[in-house]
């Protein structure tokens, strides 16, 4: 198994609330409520650990309320390399309704000054110089906190790539645009995010494939598109692949994308075939929607979920990002 690093620049304490239906302006009764140390990179780390990898987590945490993160990292068995900054880590509310709709109420996060950013860069440089602790790949996931601009994110990606590290990115908005321009190894947008970048509505399978091919042609070696029940597209040097998950009752989609990214990275670093990799990643992402949290590869019926996941190769992909 591999040594991997996740960077969560804007983590959060996630207040996940399940309810039948959200009715604004009224008193709503919850079915379940959970407060979890989270952030997309932390969620990715949870999956990678479950799949057997040695994981280091880093980024920025508010020093005033890092207790839940300390306990979570200890329970996970990950190396805590988060840099503490003054103030509190934000609390995000995620309201999941019975029909699968999720309403996110996210805070901006603690402001990151120049000194804190430089501390992170210095730590990364030292870690990359340490042959015993150097990661096999880096995942940068989540939004950017105040003080960390999309330009800084792009420069970070370029520095890590120049150092010879695979860099997997999951972010959105302008940060996603700048990240793609910096040519990370992998990017995992959802339909809306990729549609915004591509400048066209992805209302058909052909449009989704066309946009994923454009992403690959832009220099992203592993172009991964998650389209919910319509499945997953993965375009790389291995060809263009599609997977459709089994139909399941959706309790919460929070964590599904993080699960997909982590499981696909697992398959790539372990050298699994494209079919094996995409089948596991898609099935594990589907498993996650049945409950709050990330996918559980130890679920008793997980082998059955993999069997129910349909995977097919669409065709080869040439260097220009076109179907060959």
Query: Active-site positions?
Result: 258
Nearest of 228, 276, 234 to residue 256 by alpha carbon: 228
Contacts of 58 (CB under 8 A, 6+ apart): 5, 6, 7, 8, 81, 82, 83, 120, 123, 124
Q: Which two tokens stand for residue 195?
A: 């549609």
User: In the 8-state DSSP scheme, what is residue 203?
Assistant: -
How far is CA 110 from each of CA 58, 91, 147, 279, 284, rounded to the nearest angstrom? 15, 11, 9, 38, 32
| Helical (H) or strand (E) element with 80 | strand 79-80
CB 102: neighbour CB atoms within 10 A?
Answer: 14
Task: Quote the CA–CA distance of 274 and 272 in Å, as a whole number.
Answer: 7
């Amino acid at each position: 198994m591999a040594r991997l690093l996740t960077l969560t620049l804007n983590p959060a304490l996630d207040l996940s609330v399940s309810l039948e239906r959200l009715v604004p302006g009224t008193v709503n009764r919850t079915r379940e409520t959970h407060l979890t140390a989270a952030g997309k990179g932390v969620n990715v780390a949870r999956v990678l650990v479950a799949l057997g990898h040695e994981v280091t987590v880093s980024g920025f945490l508010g020093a005033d309320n890092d207790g839940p993160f300390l306990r979570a990292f200890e329970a996970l068995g990950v190396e805590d390399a988060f840099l503490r900054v003054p103030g509190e880590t934000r609390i995000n509310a995620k309201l999941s309704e019975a029909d699968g709709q999720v309403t996110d109420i996210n805070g901006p996060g603690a402001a990151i000054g120049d000194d804190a950013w430089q501390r992170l860069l210095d730590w990364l440089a030292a870690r990359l110089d340490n042959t015993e602790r150097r990661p096999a790949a880096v995942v940068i996931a989540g939004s950017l906190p105040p003080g960390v601009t999309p330009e800084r994110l792009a420069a970070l990606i370029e520095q890590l790539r120049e150092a010879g590290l695979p860099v997997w990115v999951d972010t959105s908005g302008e940060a996603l645009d700048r990240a793609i321009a910096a040519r990370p190894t992998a990017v995992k947008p959802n339909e809306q995010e990729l549609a915004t970048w591509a400048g066209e509505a992805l209302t058909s399978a052909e449009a989704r494939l066309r946009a994923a091919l454009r992403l690959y042609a832009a220099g992203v070696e592993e172009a991964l598109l998650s389209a919910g029940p319509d499945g997953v597209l993965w375009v790389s040097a291995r060809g263009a692949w599609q997977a459709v998950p089994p139909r399941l009752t959706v309790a919460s989609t929070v964590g599904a994308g993080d699960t997909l990214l982590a499981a696909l990275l697992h398959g790539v670093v372990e050298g699994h075939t494209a079919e094996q990799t995409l089948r596991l990643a898609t099935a594990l992402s589907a498993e996650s929607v049945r409950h709050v949290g990330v996918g559980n590869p130890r679920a008793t019926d997980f082998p059955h979920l993999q069997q129910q996941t349909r995977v097919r190769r669409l065709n080869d992909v040439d260097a220009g990002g076109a179907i060959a």
